[in-house]
Amino acid sequence: MSLSRKVLIVGSYNQDLSWKTSNFPYPGQTVLGTFHMNPGGKGSNQAVAAVRAGAHATFVGAVGKDPFGAAAHTFLKNEGLTIHLVEKTEAATGTAAIMVNSAGQNEIIVALGSNLLLTSEDVPDALLNEASIIICPLEAQLTTVEGIFKRAKQAGARTLLNPAPMPKHLPPEILKHTDIIVPNEGEFAQLISQIEPGFDTASILADLSTLPHQAIHQACRILKIDHVIITLGEKGVFVSSPTEYFYLPAIPVKVIDTTGAGDAFIGGLTTSLIENPNDMYKAVCFANCTAALAVTKPGAAPSFPLRPEIDALLKKHLKDKLV
């Protein structure tokens, strides 16, 4: 793959500590469950999803000088990623505590640690200059994301923002330098309420998937971003651009664990856009299949599918006209 066809992910690496139990405990309750430890973090997950889907991907992140940081180097290299991990001695590697119930739903607490020490200057110019798409989730300082996106646009790269976790206030400069934004419906409603305080977001939060598509499209255009892609979980995905909008239902699968489904979607989306930059419909179909396969297995990164699996599911559902 040529230098002009790379994806760069700048974001978090967290060590995921996961517990699976029948039901989430209520305050003060102790429940029994099983434990697993896996690599995670939204940036790392999206990078792994992209490279497994077939992209030439580079990951930039920050880790602590500790066993979890050492594990990050090993894991990411073994996944086939080009990595640039900055070691921060002032903080520990990020961690996440994840609970998953029998329905596959999850509750997560993240301690970002060294991720919050990552700066825009930690990203070498050479990596920015050779990337055609640059992804940033928000498990980092907002000033870091803003600086990276400004530099990315100067380098001529396309920028994709995953506004998760959604801050109380997202600086408008970040949105100004964003080409593609991929929020879930809660994050989307928060964004709209920040930009247009008088906008009726109650209906969006109630159930965005039941609104007329034209109304959702009009709300998307408030963000003034070329492509707004709202992930709706089991309800599907809605896509808005200045010239078109469309909705795709989720692909029906047996859900085991939804952890990392959004990251799988973004990894699949960017992989397809690297190969077909002007075909957003195909990219979203490909991303939909990537996310669907990811929720059929436990964990985040370990559940992400390989390219042959994605291609097979995409071919099947295109044939059945389900995507």
Helix axis angle, 280-294 to 307-319, nearest 10°: 110
Q: Are the CB atoms for 235 and 210 separated by under 8 Å?
A: no
Q: Are the CB atoms for 88 and 141 separated by under 8 Å?
A: no
In the residue annotation, 263 being an active-site residue is answered as yes
Question: HSE-up of 240 (CA within 13 Å, CB side)?
Answer: 20
Concatenated DSSP letters of 214-225: HHHHHHHHTT--
Residue of 179, 207, 263, 279 with catalytic role: 263
Structure-block tokens of residue 112: 């970002």
Q: Where are the beta strands (DSSP E) in 158-304?
A: 158-162, 180-181, 227-231, 237-240, 245-248
Q: Are the CB atoms for 127 and 60 separated by under 8 Å?
A: yes
Query: CA-to-CA distance for 123 and 12, rounded, in angstroms?
Result: 13
Sheet of 57-64, strands arranged across = 82-88, 57-64, 6-10, 131-137, 158-162, 180-181, 227-231, 237-240, 245-248
Helix%, strand%, coil% for the chain, nearest 5? 40, 25, 35
* 82-114: b (≥16 Cβ within 10 Å) or e: bbbbeebeebbbbbbebbbbeebebeeebebbb
> Exposure of 253 by Cβ count < 10 A (0-12 exposed, 13-18 middle, 19+ buried)?
middle
Q: Catalytic residue numbers? A: 263
